[in-house]
Every structure is written in structure tokens, then in C-alpha cells.
Amino acid sequence: MTCKGLLLTATTIGLLLGTQTMADTADKKIALSNNYAGNSWRQAMLESWKRVTDKAVADGAVASADAFTTAENQATEQAAQIQNMILQGYDAIVVNAASPTALNGAIKEACDAGITVVSFDGIVTEPCAWRVKVDFVKMGRDEVEYLAKRLPEGGNLLEIRGLAGVSVDDEIHAGIEEGVKANANFKIVGSVNGDWAQDVAQKAVAGILPSLPEIAAVVTQGGDGYGAAQAFAAAGRPTPIIIMGNRQDELKWWGEQRDANQYETMSTSIAPGVSTLAFWVAQQILDGQDVPKELTVPFLSVTQDTLDQALKDTPEGGVTNVDYSQDDAKKVIAGSK
């Protein structure tokens, strides 16, 4: 465990990987069905999966845990992939789905064949599957609450949203609106779509900045904070508090600003290692534990105190990550009951 410091800041306090072997699931085979591997977040997710499951197999917790990624990010292809997994005789399938609904038919086939299905990140609506969900509404609310602590007198906010039409964007936005409603001295004076990409965010913020009054803080969705900072610098305006999203470039910029002028902010996002949490949840279900169908994943936050540790642990161009352990999974399960 290289990121113990970070683990402490996650809502659950991580313990070292459980070393006790689970005799009941030692002969079980778990498969990961993944729809996409084309960005740093997904790469980190697959690496976490490999790191944790390799150890779990070596420890005898499960017999095997193979990862499969579809070549194209298409629901029909992933449905076929899941049906192949049924034929391959896996006991559990952990899935990051291309579509919340389009895989339902294949997932139902798997359930009917007696296979445990756990979805995470890209969750599925089929009732027979477990869902490891992220409370994105809370993430938006938390951002405003942090700002309320930092800026008791309130101020103008600029909101950077994600990709239009994606449910994650709607949920974070709803959370931010809730937060602003609860803290009436904040006002959203502008809103742009940054598409979770630094270059898009920079262009969008640069475009709207001339029309805006003084901005006290920028609320973001992750992957857009560094671009926003660049846009403010280019316009020659004072740097507001920009909420970051755990990307390495964002943390690096934050570190530089902190060293130069005591800049303070916070950073929050969902850790790619959530795949390993889903893995342990599947293992717990196979072990016969009573697990609720809906589980909520803790966020991974970086604060002023943990910034140095996070910078050290996050690879160039990557995302801050954490591997979950069996005990983390047990805690999340117990917390959701």
C-alpha cells in the first residue's frame, strides 16, 4: 500500500489488505467486463484491478480474476462479451457498463445462470445486479460546503460542467445547485461546459471570463481545474479558489501555487481503484454474505495536508488512486445496510 496517507482521507479508513484466505471462495472465478480503456482513469482502474486481484489469487481468496475490455466502446459488443463470460463459467461478473440499460438483457441471462453481477462506475439498472454507486450529487454539494467554510461572506461562483447529456454531469450540477440554495450568499454567475478536459475547459472559461464580475471560486467536475486556472492567468485576473479533480496536472499546479503564495483549495473525485472495491464486494457476495443491492462508494479527496503525498503517488498524466481491500468492502457493505 503506497497511498496510506490518502486512504486516511477517504471516508473509510483503509486497513492493510486482508491476509486471511477465504476458503469458501477459493475455487470461485470472477471476471471484469470493461467497456473502455482509452483514458488515464480507465488505465489506472485496470492497473488497480490487476494489482489487487493478482494478490487475491495468490492468497487463495479466489481462483481467478480475469479482466476483459471490449475493443470498441459499444453496448452491443459488451453484451456479447458478458454472454461469452456466462459460457466461460465465471461465478461472478464485475462490470463497468457502456450503457445503464442496454446490457440488461445480457445481465439478466447471467443472473438466470446463477452468476453474481456487480456493476460499478458505469452501473446498470437491471434489478438482479448489485450497484456500487457514486453519490455525485453529494460531490457537488460538498464542493459548495467546502467553499462556504473558506468564504463565509460568500461570493460569485463560476461553474464548469461536464459533457452535456451525461447523467454524471446532471447529478454533480444538481448537487452544486442544492449547495448554493443552502448557502444563499453564493451566486452562480456563469456556467460553461468543460467536457472534463483541460483544453476544452480553458477555451470555455477564456470565452466567458470577459463578461463576468469578480469570481470568488470555481466549482468543477474534475479534469477541468487546470484549464480554468490557465484561463484566469491568461486573462490577467486574480486566481479564485478552484476546486480540483485529482488529476496530476491539477495537483501539480496546486502544489506550485501553494509554494509560491500559500494557495489553498481541495480536490475530490472517484478513485479508479473502485474496480477493486467492486471485486471485493463480488467476493463477499460469493462468500454468502448478505450484501445490499445498492452500495455507495466513498470519494477520494486530496486536502492541503495530503497534497504532497498525493503528488508523490500520482503518476505523470494520471489520476490519484487508491486500491481497496477486503476490509474496505466489508465496511462499505456494513455502512449501506
Partner 1 sequence: MRSVSPRLVLPVLSLTVLIAAVFWLQPRAMSYVGINLLFNLAVPIALATVAQMIIIMVNDIDLSMGAFVSLIACITAAILPTDPALGIAMLVGCVLVYAALGALIEIRQLPAIVVTLGMSFVWSGAAVLILPSPGGTAPVWLTAIMKAKPPFVPVAIIASVLIATVAHLIVMRSSFGVKLRALGGNARAVSRSGRSTVLLRASAYGLAGIFAMLAGMALVGLTTSGDANIALRYTLLSIAGVILGGGEFTGGRVSPVGAVIGALTLTLAGSFLSFLRLSPDWQIGAQGAILILVLAARLVVRQAEKRS
Total count of residues recorded for the chain: 337
Binding test (CB under 8 A) with partner 1, winner from 4, 19, 23, 105:
105
Binding test (CB under 8 A) with partner 1, winner from 96, 104, 248, 268:
104
Q: Looking at this protein, which amino acid is placed at residue 213?
A: P
Q: How far apart are the first and last CA of the chain?
A: 28
Site string for partner 1, 141-180 (x = CB under 8 A): ------------------------x-x-------------
Q: Are 272 and 238 in contact (CB under 8 A)?
A: no
User: How many contiguous H segments (helices) and E segments (strands) does the chain have?
Assistant: 12, 12
Rounded CA separation 162/172 (Å): 9
Site string for partner 1, 50-89 (x = CB under 8 A): ----------------x-xxxxx-xxxx-xxx-xx-xxxx
Question: Of the candidates 153, 162, 150, which has an alpha carbon nearest to the alpha carbon of residue 265?
Answer: 150
**Of the two residues 127 and 335, which places its CB atom closer to partner 1 in the complex?**
127
The least CB distance from residue 76 to partner 1, in Å, is 6
Q: Are 212 and 240 in contact (CB under 8 A)?
A: no
The least CB distance from residue 71 to partner 1, in Å, is 4
The number of residues that bind partner 1 (CB under 8 A) is: 35
**Of the two residues 104 and 276, which places its CB atom closer to partner 1 in the complex?**
104
Taking phi first (over 0 means left), then psi (-120 to 50 degrees means alpha), and beta for anything else, what does residue 120 get?
beta
DSSP 8-state secondary structure symbol assigned to residue 236: T
The least CB distance from residue 48 to partner 1, in Å, is 17
The least CB distance from residue 100 to partner 1, in Å, is 5
* Helix (H) or strand (E) segment spanning residue 214: none
Asked if residue 305 binds partner 1 (CB under 8 A), the reply is: no
**Of the two residues 69 and 336, which places its CB atom closer to partner 1 in the complex?**
69
Residue 271, all three cell numbers: 478513485
Question: Of the candidates 245, 249, 250, 248, which has an alpha carbon nearest to the alpha carbon of residue 268?
Answer: 245
**Of the two residues 85 and 241, which places its CB atom closer to partner 1 in the complex?**
85
Binding test (CB under 8 A) with partner 1, winner from 5, 100, 255, 292:
100
Binding test (CB under 8 A) with partner 1, winner from 21, 43, 63, 109:
109
Sign of CA dihedral 169, 172, 178, 181: negative
**Of the two residues 80 and 234, which places its CB atom closer to partner 1 in the complex?**
80
Q: Helix (H, G, I), strand (E, B), or coil: what is residue 60?
A: coil
The least CB distance from residue 83 to partner 1, in Å, is 4
**Of the two residues 136 and 324, which places its CB atom closer to partner 1 in the complex?**
136
Q: CA angle, corner 308, sides to 305 and 310, nearest 5?
A: 95
Per CB under 8 A, residues contacting partner 1 are 37, 66, 68-72, 74-77, 79-81, 83-84, 86-89, 99-106, 108-109, 113, 125-126, 165, 167
